[in-house]
Chain A
């Protein structure tokens, strides 16, 4: 092996060599720089490989032929090797990226770049405190030089502010170093660690000064105004270096210092880290400029890693896995985004819409964001999983809450940005054509996915990139060039194939959900045959959602469950975002979903007590006093997905604005994920009491309120798809209510709603979608009289609303019948009242739906409207058949589940003898009902046909009317504000209280961010004062603690 000292020596030598060259030899200089960086990268890489494969052990490098402490020594272990590789690789890529700029600036700039990466490598490797200082100062000087690479004139001032701050830092550091030396008699970090007791007793202030100086180098919030200015104004390639490489190096330095400082100082680092994470993320909310936003995000991420570094005592041997995961994900993601920003011409966040023309770069953007937020399958996901488990196991609940809050805010502003890129008008300035810049971005994407794979392998869990469903979804990325119809066929085959493959392993409950997700998903995909073209981005997102769902129902441990949960959330987010007007709605969907997911994460972490591989069945063994909290966290998390009242505000927009074939997916199928989670939760944890309140009782009230308010709000909608969306809230409320009854029939009813809601909601969304496609509007009052023009859609809606309203003889009645039997044995009666109220309200919106669209007066502009496209009608007709079959023979699906539920709740099972279904209290014979109703209907119909055989079809306006003859359909079609008197009586219940509440919360956060960020006045002296004040405050708090 080549000695690692050549990482330092090589760069240094290269820089000197550049100094000897002649100015005009730009090409040669550039080649030398690249060669040097390639060499150091290769060297670091080969050491990392050798160290991680165990071929060599960590090496100590002595200088001047003398043992430490009499000479400086360096060390290269596996962590150092990884960091040095990161630094030099980022340096190499940035050098490639900077080709034009470096050619213009000449060999001096190249030399400074080499010195910069050399200094950072030195910070990582050195074991000598003063040497650390020297490398830091070299970083400062080279930073000062590299800032000038930017074409932005404001960079000059930013650089000067940086120098002012670093002067203050270096004063603190030097004074600290000399007194630390005085206290221990050595500058060697290992010696100091050995003598740490003495140092911390006698020279506490000295250690503090060194420590705080290095912390300040991390640009922690809020003493970091100068750093933000650099991020904003420097060349993006250099910002990438600062964020990824310099940040990482400083973190290694702080880690070294904490070996001396011990647990007390780790706590300080943790607190600074978490404050930085939350604060910077909060401030980032108010940013409109991309690079400054990335700056804030960098500060936050580095704060997070600082927090991890401070938690190393509780992370134990997993420390490197966690810290490495977060750090590398941050480095790759952030560097990638900075490089990407160099391709975008405008600096406003909305300017990133320019990326839209280039799917590859858009994919890069999405990957980087996922890396930053720590979504599966990226390293941050595995790392955060273990981090959260560790801090939950040690009862650091405040940190846990802050961590998750900060992460949620971060996801919020990053995905808002992504929404801008996808949805805003395309920027006029195209993205830069430079090929090698794109190549650099692509390398970062590759690195990100490679890291995802490596971290999956290193984790104790199954590698998510080995999961067949995920791979199947990712495969569609490679197949994007195919026509949509071919991809659709593949997707359907995949869903059905996976169902057939997994079929033998399902238990009855899983089977029901698998049927809905996989077979049902395939059925909805039939409608997607309607779209032509290539439909870029649709299939990877949809299949990612389906993959998540398929993995969710078979997950056995909490990790797989959660990974599946996040996958389906992300997939569905991309899917929803495709809708024409769906930008804000997709965002609120994502924020609520991720918020719910974080609650689930916290719940699992609390339950697991540090055991990162936690079987879901072990939830049953969680003991008091933890159990009810775990239950509450998980339940609220799942209820976010089922859009329980209060957490429902994302749903109407998200479902209504989605594309025609996406609405049934996210409504008919996706909502069931939350119900599945609740099933799982109640089956394992059963009843829980918190402060004497039965949580199942609370859930019952929430379910009943959702049913009531969901239905009521649906009745007041003018938009057909919104009406259906609100109705989903109500329907999920029923299901939640059934589950929370905690009796046999309640659960059966919930399952019945799962099946029914899938069928009729998918069908209705498809029909309404088809109508909206033909008429070009979703406002019901603008339609009317379409029954003769779109008879098949009408039949679908008719069957759908009869089923949904619960009127016999269709399947909705079965749900109501089970409901009545279930409430007979329920312990609580009051919540029933709300359910009773909400039942008839369903008629209101259902009638309005069918009447305003299909009945009443046909409008002039719709006289030539055709039936919905074949591919939209086909699945609807299949659903009609399904509904009829399920109405006649509910036992087909429910019988086995009924038996299965008996394993958990033996009391109250139904008897399925012959054609009649019998409970403890009543009976019901679906086939007989259907036959009797059918016979009566046919007889009366025949009679009417007989007596009325000469009835004459008349025209639209041939109606009885006093004194005038109507001639305008618009004024004759009674449809707008259909329930005006009802609104007068009960409209106050539909006031958007929750919308206002959440709007107030987000407004508050934004206003706070907007106000507080004004502490960054832009004045370099103020920043220096911030820095000093930060030092003093930390010192006082530390001494006070």
Chain B
């Protein structure tokens, strides 16, 4: 596949749909979470309001160049991740820019935003930011591990690293989904998914009651707006990867919306049930419970 100019408007369209869906979806999840806690929760359009307000704020400060660039890195990471993976299977229109690279590109691009963000937060000089980053990095070392093993397992299973081909191999019947052909890998990956969604029990990185909100402590106004934009794109971009790899992908937007909702809901469901882990606890938890699943997955393929 080669680059064509028509890809640009197509990609922007994908982005537009995903941003809007994401704004609504995250608000909905917030609300569900609130209701579980017997609270009323935010209105469903709250994210739009926040975003417009924050982009509109004109009084802002900066701590330096990296601080300024941090949110840019962050959002670039989210948008890039979304666009490097085909959103809808079989659609020329929504294959985005996936010609640039395969699954491995997506896997490693996940870190692009986090890294830039961590650097920006670091320049603010706020200890809470540094503490948050330290926690986040510590947790990610083991949280991402089962996912990496699962990816390796299904790459071996399908003998390809191309996302499109992996989705293609799962078509035909629900029973062709990786979920059923390789349940171990999916189990491992889904545990890993919990670790990357910044929800309990793995939300010690942001830890609102302890280190205000961790890395973004010093960010405000349009910086924060950029990050909020990312916060609606990035989880969906990541879920798209999961969906494509494990749950048969999506050929139409309704299926897409449903599957994304369900996968997202999984992390919410676990999150409202369990209390927060400390870093060393979550590190050990992933090593003890998720890692063996991943190992089993690559051994049985």
Contacts and interface: CB of A to CB of B under 8 A. Distances in A.
Q: Do chains A and B touch in the complex (CB under 8 A)?
A: yes
Interface of A: 785, 787-788, 798, 802, 805-808, 813, 816-817, 820-821, 823-824, 829-830, 832-833, 836-837, 839-841, 843-844, 847, 850-851, 855-857, 916, 919, 921-925, 928-929, 932-933, 936-937, 940-941, 944, 947-948, 950-954, 956-962, 966, 972-975, 978-982, 984-986
Interface in B113-146: 115, 118-119, 122-127, 130-131, 133-135, 137-138, 140-142, 144-145
B257 interface: no
B108 A806 contact: yes
12 contacts: A847-B122, A855-B122, A855-B123, A921-B160, A921-B161, A932-B83, A936-B83, A944-B72, A953-B63, A979-B138, A982-B141, A985-B283
A952 B112 contact: no
B111 A843 contact: yes
B76 interface: yes
A908 B177 CA distance: 29
Given A821-B161, A840-B144, A847 B115 contact: yes
A3 B269 CA distance: 107
B100 A843 contact: no
A700 to B, nearest CB: 15
Given A843-B140, A948-B60, A824 B221 contact: no
A787 B105 contact: no
Dominant secondary structure at the B interface? helix
Interface string B52-67: 0001001111111110
B62 A807 contact: no
Contacts of B145: 836-837, 840
Q: Which 10 A-B pairs have the closest CB atoms?
A: A922-B161, A855-B122, A922-B102, A981-B279, A985-B280, A974-B130, A982-B138, A985-B283, A928-B100, A840-B141
A844 B137 contact: yes
A807 B115 contact: yes
Nearest to B129: A974
B162 interface: yes
B104 A924 contact: yes
A820 to B, nearest CB: 5
A985 B282 CA distance: 9
Interface stretch (B18-26, B35-43, B147-155): B147-155
Most B C-beta atoms less than 10 A away, residue of A798, A836, A960: A836
B175 to A, nearest CB: 25
A429 B244 CA distance: 78
B80 A936 contact: yes
A855 B66 contact: yes
Contacts of A929: 100-101, 105
A855 B155 CA distance: 39
B203 interface: no
B188 to A, nearest CB: 12
B79 interface: yes
A672 B119 CA distance: 31
Interface residues of B, number: 83
A959 B130 CA distance: 13
Contacts of A830: 295, 299
A806 B107 CA distance: 11
Contact of B108 (A808, A919, A932, A947): A808
B125 A956 contact: yes
A45 to B, nearest CB: 71
Interface of B: 3, 55, 58-66, 68-69, 71-73, 75-76, 79-80, 83-84, 97, 99-105, 108-109, 111-112, 115, 118-119, 122-127, 130-131, 133-135, 137-138, 140-142, 144-145, 148-149, 152, 155-156, 159-162, 212, 217-218, 221-223, 225-226, 278-281, 283-284, 291, 294-295, 298-299
A850 B60 CA distance: 26
A785 B279 CA distance: 27
Contact of B64 (A787, A807, A808, A950): A787
A959 B278 contact: no
A947 B155 CA distance: 43
Contacts of A788: 64
Nearest to A984: B280
Given A824-B159, A841-B141, A960-B126, A940 B72 contact: yes
A921 B155 contact: yes
Contacts of B69: 941
A654 B73 CA distance: 37
A836 B149 contact: yes
B64 to A, nearest CB: 6
B222 A947 contact: yes
Given A807-B112, A944-B226, A985-B279, A950 B58 contact: yes
Nearest to B60: A951
Nearest to A823: B152
Contacts of A962: 212
Contact of B61 (A785, A850, A954): A954
Given A808-B105, A921-B102, A981-B283, 9 more contacts: A798-B119, A806-B108, A840-B140, A923-B102, A941-B69, A944-B68, A974-B131, A980-B134, A982-B134
Contacts of B65: 787
Nearest to B286: A985
Contacts of B83: 932, 936
Nearest to A946: B222
Contacts of B298: 829, 832-833
A960 B217 contact: yes
Contacts of B144: 840
Contacts of B127: 966, 972-974
Given A836-B149, A847-B118, A986-B283, A829 B299 contact: yes
Contact of A958 (B61, B103, B279): B61
Contacts of A844: 137-138, 141
Contacts of A954: 61-63
A684 to B, nearest CB: 31
A929 B97 CA distance: 9
A932 B148 contact: no
B65 to A, nearest CB: 7
Contacts of A944: 68, 71-72, 222-223, 226
B108 A959 contact: no
Contacts of A813: 105, 108
A952 B221 CA distance: 12
A851 B125 contact: no
B280 A808 contact: no
B257 to A, nearest CB: 24
B115 A802 contact: yes
B22 to A, nearest CB: 16
Contacts of A958: 61
Contact of A953 (B61, B134, B225, B279): B61
A817 B72 CA distance: 25
Contacts of A805: 111, 115
Given A808-B109, A974-B127, A922 B97 contact: no
B115 to A, nearest CB: 6
Nearest to A839: B148
Most B C-beta atoms less than 10 A away, residue of A821, A923, A932: A932
A855 B161 CA distance: 37
Given A824-B156, A921-B159, A986-B283, A948 B108 contact: no
A714 B280 CA distance: 18
Contact of A851 (B58, B100, B130, B156): B130
Contact of B141 (A787, A837, A975): A837
Contacts of A840: 137, 140-142, 144-145
Most A C-beta atoms less than 10 A away, residue of B111, B125, B283, B294: B125
Contacts of B291: 833
A954 B220 CA distance: 14
Contacts of B217: 959-960
A933 B78 CA distance: 11
A843 B141 contact: yes
Given A844-B137, A940-B79, A856 B60 contact: no
Contacts of A820: 104, 152, 155, 161
Contacts of B133: 847, 851
